[in-house]
């Protein structure tokens, strides 16, 4: 058990007695130690949770949206109060460094603020009618209970993007977190309950957490009482889950894999570029959907930038993510380590030159999976480079012509995040244009990872097409009604049809 773990649980309102005695084992990637044994839920529990969510929906949809926003405001307040402890628990359970654990909680707070404002802005359009004495109008109504399935790498923020919006839109949430990170989910639930207890008008069961594996996600996907299933994870998961939801005419909102690229032009500011690459390729141990995985360097900067990158990579502090000096924590588990090592072996077979990537043994934590982030010089975009390996591997390729680099950049199945480093406005604009990056996130002089909550988050192709978080992503959580209002004394028909 971790020093401080019990303390953190206590502050977050997790009862130690509820964390033992079950068969669902939770381990910390920091040292492989056992954190908890939780009683898992089963398919019948999913059915029950959905029934409760439905009952909550019937009440919650009648509460005016700004009043629903008040509950989310209180939740944001509780999160501010619990930021340090929840951030620490994120680190203990997912292995990301403490700065990033805290950043995740900040992301939750930010989306709560956004959702509170949004609760007064759920507006539709008024549209000119072709008929005299008529008006067309769009209304947005609560959709129903929402199933949310999240991944280990952002165990709390991605849920919050969904939950904060769903709640102001009038939808209760049934949450199945990754089986690797249920403790942070239970902590979020406990924090939410504190906000709920301070708010008289909210029904019970607006937020529920299900602990368990894939079969629970499948049960959510199959349940016709959940009109929306928001799922974050691998392309493989989405390929199975998306059609499952659609088969019953539910809506899937998918945020799947990324194979994110960066193009560095000859005019780039290399100081900025090196820092951006370090954060987006090595940060979070390469375990963000938005992590930088493919780097296209212009001939003129190739040698210099690669030299600087290698020097920086050698100095990266790999170690216990609770230590404030650490920049790269562990991989989530032995499976992730195996997949990384397998990819590096394949890279060599495909003509790559590997720098770094070796296992790092951190004193006292021999059961954990620490690695030095890898840089791999590739002769071109081989089959391996076109796949997403969820680990800190950065494939580096050379280019001469920008149009050709953009072609290669887009020539992968995934389409989440992308970036260009340049000081030439023509290159920047081209990259953002219709002929540029085909991703959902397209950045200039900023790495592909670390998006703010204000924009819509998600991507194209095998990334799944979903958009979450800011902008008008809220529309996915509501149903749209088109209203025709006749305020005349006649009954003209559309399209000029006579029916007398």
The reply on whether position 259 binds ligand UN1 by CB under 6 A is no
CB-nearer residue toward ligand UN1: 119 or 153: 153
Strand-pair category, 134-142 with 146-149: unpaired
Residue (28 or 162) nearer to ligand UN1, CB: 162
- The strand pairing partners of 166, in sequence order, are none
Q: Give the residue with the Cβ less far from ligand UN1, 153 or 273.
A: 153
261 binds ligand UN1 (CB under 6 A): no
Host H or E run for residue 478: strand 478-486
422 is a contact residue toward ligand UN1 (CB under 6 A): no
- The answer to the question of residue 256 lying near ligand UN1 (CB under 6 A) is no
Q: Report if residue 285 touches ligand UN1, rule: CB under 6 A.
A: no
- Binding to ligand UN1 by residue 336, rule CB under 6 A? no
Give Cα 136 distance to the centre of its chain: 36
250 versus 464: smaller Cβ distance to ligand UN1: 464
Binding mask 93-112 for ligand UN1 (x = CB under 6 A): --------------x-----
| Cβ neighbours around 435 below 10 Å, total | 12
For the segment 263-282, give every residue that binds ligand UN1 (CB under 6 A).
Answer: none
Q: Tokens standing for 81?
A: 């109060």
Q: Which of 188, 289, 369, 439 is catalytic?
A: 289
Counting contacts by CB under 6 A, is residue 385 touching ligand UN1?
Answer: no
CB-side exposure of 219: number of CA atoms within 13 Å?
A: 20
Stretch that binds ligand UN1, among 127-135, 214-222, 287-295, 479-487 (CB under 6 A): 287-295
DSSP letter at 476 equals G
Phi and psi (nearest 5°) for 38? Answer: -100, 145
Nearer to ligand UN1 by Cβ, of 358 and 452: the residue is 452
290 part of the interface to ligand UN1, by CB under 6 A: yes
Q: By the 8 A CB rule, do 192 and 73 touch? A: no
Q: Does 206 sit near ligand UN1 (CB under 6 A)?
A: no
> Could you say which residues in the range 446-465 bind ligand UN1, by CB under 6 A?
449-451
Rounded Cα distance, 172 and 196, in Å: 13
Distance CA 48, CA 52 (A): 6
Please confirm, yes or no, whether 377 is among the known catalytic residues: no
Which one from 70, 93, 107, 255 is the annotated catalytic residue? 255
Closest CA to 443 of 235, 287, 328, 273: 273
Query: E strands along 363-473, which residues?
Result: 370-371, 374-377, 393-399, 414-415, 417-421, 441-444, 456-457, 460-461, 468-469
- The single residue among 232, 260, 437, 443 that binds ligand UN1, judged by CB under 6 A, is 232
For the bound state, the minimum distance from the C-beta of residue 295 to ligand UN1, rounded and expressed in Å, comes to 17
Stretch that binds ligand UN1, among 90-98, 311-319, 431-439, 445-453 (CB under 6 A): 445-453
# of chain residues touching ligand UN1 (CB under 6 A):
11
Q: CA-CA distances (angstroms) from residue 10 to 27, 86, 321?
A: 18, 11, 21
Choice from 268, 274, 289, 406 touching ligand UN1 (CB under 6 A): 289
If the CB atoms of residues 208 and 449 are measured against ligand UN1, the closer one turns out to be: 449
Q: Smallest distance, Å, CB 109 to ligand UN1?
A: 13
User: Residue 332 interacts with ligand UN1 (CB under 6 A)?
Assistant: no
What beta strand segments (E) does 93-199 contain? Answer: 126-127, 134-142, 146-149, 173-176
CA terminus-to-terminus distance, the chain: 81
- Of 107 and 205, which has the nearer Cβ to ligand UN1? 107
Q: What is the dihedral of CA 245, 246, 252, 254, to 10 degrees?
A: 100
Rounded-to-integer distance, Cα 305 and Cα 267, Å: 12
**Single residue of 28, 91, 94, 153 touching ligand UN1 by CB under 6 A:** 153
Cβ–Cβ contacts within 10 Å for residue 113, how many? Answer: 15
255 is catalytic: yes
- Token digits of residue 275: 């820092």
Q: Which residues are catalytic?
A: 255, 289
Query: Which residues bind to ligand UN1, rule: CB under 6 A?
Result: 107, 153-154, 158, 232, 288-290, 449-451
């Amino acid at each position: 058990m971790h020093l401080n773990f019990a303390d953190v649980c206590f502050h977050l309102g997790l009862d130690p007695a509820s964390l033992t005695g079950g068969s669902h084992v939770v381990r910390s990637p920091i040292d492989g130690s056992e954190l908890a044994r939780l009683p898992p839920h089963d398919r019948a529990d999913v059915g029950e949770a959905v029934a409760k969510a439905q009952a909550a929906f019937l009440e919650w949809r009648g509460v005016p949206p700004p009043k629903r926003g008040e509950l989310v405001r209180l939740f944001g307040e509780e999160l501010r109060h619990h930021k340090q402890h929840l951030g620490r628990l994120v680190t203990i359970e997912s292995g990301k460094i403490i700065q990033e654990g805290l950043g995740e909680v900040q992301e939750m707070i930010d989306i709560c603020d956004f959702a509170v404002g949004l609760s007064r802005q759920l507006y539709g359009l008024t549209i000119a009618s072709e008929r005299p004495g008529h008006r067309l109008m769009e209304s947005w109504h609560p959709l129903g209970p929402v199933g949310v399935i999240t991944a280990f790498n952002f165990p709390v923020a991605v849920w919050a993007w969904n939950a904060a919006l769903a709640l102001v839109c009038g939808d209760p949430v049934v949450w199945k977190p990754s089986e690797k990170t249920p403790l942070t989910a239970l902590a979020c639930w406990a924090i939410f309950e504190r906000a709920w207890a301070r708010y008289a008008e909210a029904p019970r069961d607006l937020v529920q957490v299900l602990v368990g594996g894939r079969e629970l996600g499948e049960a959510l996907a199959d349940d016709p009482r959940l009109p929306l299933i928001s799922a974050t994870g691998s392309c493989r998961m989405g390929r199975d889950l998306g059609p499952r939801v659609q088969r019953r005419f539910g809506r899937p909102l998918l945020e799947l894999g990324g194979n994110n690229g960066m193009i560095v032009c000859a005019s780039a500011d290399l100081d900025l570029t090196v820092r951006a690459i370090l954060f987006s390729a090595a940060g979070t141990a390469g375990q963000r959907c938005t992590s930088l995985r493919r780097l296209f360097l212009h001939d003129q900067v190739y040698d210099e930038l690669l030299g600087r990158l290698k020097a920086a990579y050698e100095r990266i502090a790999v170690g216990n993510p609770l230590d404030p000096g650490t920049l790269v924590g562990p991989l989530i588990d032995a499976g992730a380590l195996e997949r990384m090592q397998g990819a590096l072996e394949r890279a060599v077979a495909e003509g790559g030159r590997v720098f770094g990537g070796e296992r790092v043994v951190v004193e006292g934590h021999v059961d954990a999976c620490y690695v030095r982030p890898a840089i791999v010089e590739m002769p071109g975009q081989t089959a391996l480079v076109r796949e997403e390996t969820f680990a800190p591997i950065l494939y580096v390729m050379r280019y001469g012509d920008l149009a050709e680099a953009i072609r290669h950049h887009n020539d992968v199945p995934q389409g989440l995040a992308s970036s260009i480093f340049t000081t030439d406005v023509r290159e920047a604009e081209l990259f953002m244009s219709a002929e540029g990056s085909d991703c959902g996130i397209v950045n200039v002089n900023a790495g592909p990872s670390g998006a703010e909550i204000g924009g819509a988050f998600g991507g194209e192709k095998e990334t799944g097409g979903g958009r979450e978080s800011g902008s008008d992503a809220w529309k996915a959580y509501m149903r749209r009604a088109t209203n025709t209002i006749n305020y005349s004394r006649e009954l003209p028909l559309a399209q000029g049809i006579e029916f007398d």
